[in-house]
Amino acid sequence: MKRLPYEVMLVLCLLAAGVYAQETLVPFDSAGRVERLDRSLEDKLNLFPEYPRFIEAALFRLPDSSYVLEIMYDDSAGRLRARRPLTSDEASDLRWRVMQAIAQHAPTAVLDHSGRKRFIAGNLALTLGYHGWAIPLALQVEGGSAAGGIYLVTAAAGYFIPLLATERTSVSRGTASLGLYGGSRGIGHGIMLGLVAGAEDNGSALLGAGVITSLAEEVVAVNIARHTNLSDGDAVAIGVLGDFGAGIGVGMADVSGAFDSDHAAAVGAWVLAGSAAGLATGGVLTGRVDYTRGDAYVVRAAGALGTIAALTFTTYGDPKNDRVYSSTAIAGAVGGLALGHVLIRDRDFSSDQGALITLGEVSGGLLGIGLVTLAVGDHGAESSTYWTGTMLGAAGGFTFSYLLLAPDASLRSKRAPEMGMDIGPRLPSFAGAPGFERMPLPPDVLTATLRVHF
């Protein structure tokens, strides 16, 4: 009979754990950035002065639509946790007070700066790699000192301007990725626009167009990503499809004879049309497919593999018309991209996994062509032989890496429901200031916690 109180307590704990498992964490702000108030933020907001040794606070919604404010703090008895029941109106008032305090005392607390460092570094690289030297050439600056000075000032601006512009605005990873894509690919788009405008013989105009379009596309891309709350994976996937679209545009220019007739304007138009089609396709697919950065890498690697395979088989036909190569390369790229989307279905590849699969394809291709080179020696061989070695090696490296990494990606995205129970000698003590529930538990009571994961 002496065991009865412990058995009753165990049942009560299990019931309480079942209710607790249904509590939902509610952010303090409307943007969902501040899920917990930590000590550093509380020092600025001073919302809970009655807890001088405050650690953190969190707001939970219960199944009956009521709320609980939970505060963890230290006192002489150790680390304690206070729980205060709130009505829906009280919880709304608390969240409003938190947002008002953040707006007045810590406006940057709700900003997403996860992509800011990459965005600033990427812009610095763009100014060092292109804008810095293209601007003096586009302006036809004479004199090495003047051109060098413009280069250095432009490079410095590539750091300070984005640094200051993003100080009080969010720059997520998706915003950084799409913005830098627009800034880098905008260079090529600007040059293509120059060709369409008939400035193929005016190098300064082409370089200037590249600078202007680069800056314009970066601003547009940043605003699109910010207003659509684009994820990093979706941004990279859009970029991958945009790049393949530009490549397909080059192929279509060849198929149409634009290169043979030396029609620079037609080449520019085909590249721009292909790039626009690829970006539009990416925009549509991101509304249907939840890409991770690793998924985009897998799709890109599959598209490249499809292109290599198509070119390899074409070499065996040895067509007299070189445009056949462009036609089959386009078909192979489209087929490879389609295959890539099949391979990422129901899987979430991490960035590292996607990069490893890409490196597996590259390394396999190098191995294949390396073995062919060793086999034929100095005698050489037909181009189809080298292409075959490259294709088989790349396909083998891609397949091996994919089969090695795909199971883990599948498990992470298709996690099976898990249920368990932890039994221990005590639960954390609950205590608080006036108005808070005090729920001390004797240290010798047997307790249990129910865990449910989906």
Full DSSP string of 363-410: HHHHHHHHHHHHHHGGG---HHHHHHHHHHHHHHHHHHHHHHHHHHHH
Work out the average pLDDT over 23-32: 79
pLDDT at 95 exceeding the cut of 50: yes
Instruction: Give the pLDDT score at 132.
Output: 95
- Name the least confident of 53-57, 175-179, 300-304, 386-390: 53-57
pLDDT at 364 exceeding the cut of 60: yes
Backbone φ and ψ of 422, nearest 5°: -105, 130
Residue 420 falls inside a structural domain: no
Report which of 113, 110, 239 is spatially closest to residue 172, judged by C-alpha positions. Answer: 113
Which is higher by pLDDT, 370 or 75? 370
Q: Are residues 38 and 103 in the same domain?
A: yes
Residue 38 falls inside a structural domain: yes
Report which of 452, 441, 440, 435 is spatially closest to residue 94, judged by C-alpha positions. Answer: 435
> Measured in whole angstroms, how far is the alpha carbon of residue 127 from the centre of its chain?
23
Instruction: Give the pLDDT score at 411.
Output: 55
Q: Are residues 240 and 365 in the same domain?
A: no
Q: Are residues 403 and 430 in the same domain?
A: no
Residue 86 falls inside a structural domain: yes
Q: Are residues 358 and 231 in the same domain?
A: no
Last residue in a domain, options 284, 304, 328: 284
Report which of 194, 184, 337 is spatially closest to residue 271, judged by C-alpha positions. Answer: 194
**Residue pLDDT, tens place only, 325-344:** 999 999 999 999 999 999 99
Q: Are residues 301 and 348 in the same domain?
A: yes
C-beta of residue 151 within 8 angstroms of C-beta of residue 136: yes
Q: Are residues 185 and 322 in the same domain?
A: no
Count the domains in the chain: 3
Q: Are residues 194 and 225 in the same domain?
A: yes
CA distance 366 to 368: 5
Residue 104: domain span: 4-109+425-453
Q: Which residues contact 439 (CB under 8 A, 6 or more apart)?
A: 83, 429, 430, 431
Report which of 317, 357, 309, 296 is spatially closest to residue 335, judged by C-alpha positions. Answer: 309
Instruction: Give the pLDDT score at 7.
Output: 55
Residue 48 falls inside a structural domain: yes
Q: Are residues 145 and 249 in the same domain?
A: yes
Place of tokens 């198509």: 310
Last residue in a domain, options 260, 284, 308: 284
Residue 157 falls inside a structural domain: yes
Residue 337 falls inside a structural domain: yes
CA distance 72 to 438: 13
> pLDDT class for 12, splitting at 50, 70, 90?
very low
Q: Are residues 177 and 279 in the same domain?
A: yes
330 backbone φψ class: left, alpha, beta (φ>0; ψ -120 to 50)? alpha
Report which of 210, 268, 240 is spatially closest to residue 340, judged by C-alpha positions. Answer: 240
- Name the least confident of 57-61, 108-112, 308-312, 398-402: 108-112
Which is higher by pLDDT, 320 or 349? 349
Report which of 191, 303, 300, 162 is spatially closest to residue 239, judged by C-alpha positions. Answer: 300
Which is higher by pLDDT, 239 or 65? 239
Residue type, 242: G
Instruction: Give the pLDDT score at 261.
Output: 74
Backbone φ and ψ of 260, nearest 5°: -65, -35
Place of tokens 């008939």: 198
pLDDT at 426 exceeding the cut of 70: no
Helix (H) or strand (E) holding 84: strand 78-86
Work out the average pLDDT over 357-362: 97
CA separation (Å) from 144 to 148, 149, 211, 414?
6, 8, 20, 60
Helix (H) or strand (E) holding 343: helix 323-343
* Highest mean pLDDT: which range of 89-98, 142-151, 437-446: 142-151
- Name the least confident of 27-41, 199-213, 262-276: 27-41
Residue 60 falls inside a structural domain: yes
3-state DSSP percent of the chain in helix, strand and coil, to 5: 65, 10, 25
Strands 78-86 and 447-453: unpaired
Report which of 234, 190, 229 is spatially closest to residue 213, judged by C-alpha positions. Answer: 190
**Max intra-chain CA distance, the chain:** 100
DSSP 127: I
Q: Are residues 130 and 179 in the same domain?
A: yes
pLDDT at 49 exceeding the cut of 90: no
Q: Angle of helix 383-413 relative to helix 293-317, nearest 10 degrees?
A: 160
Q: Are residues 174 and 321 in the same domain?
A: no
Work out the average pLDDT over 19-31: 71
Q: Are residues 226 and 300 in the same domain?
A: no
Under DSSP, is residue 190 helix (H, G, I), strand (E, B) or coil?
helix
36-39: long-range contacts at Cβ-Cβ below 8 A with a sequence spacing of 24 or more?
37/98
C-beta of residue 338 within 8 angstroms of C-beta of residue 285: no
Residue 360 falls inside a structural domain: yes
Whether the model pTM is above 0.85: no
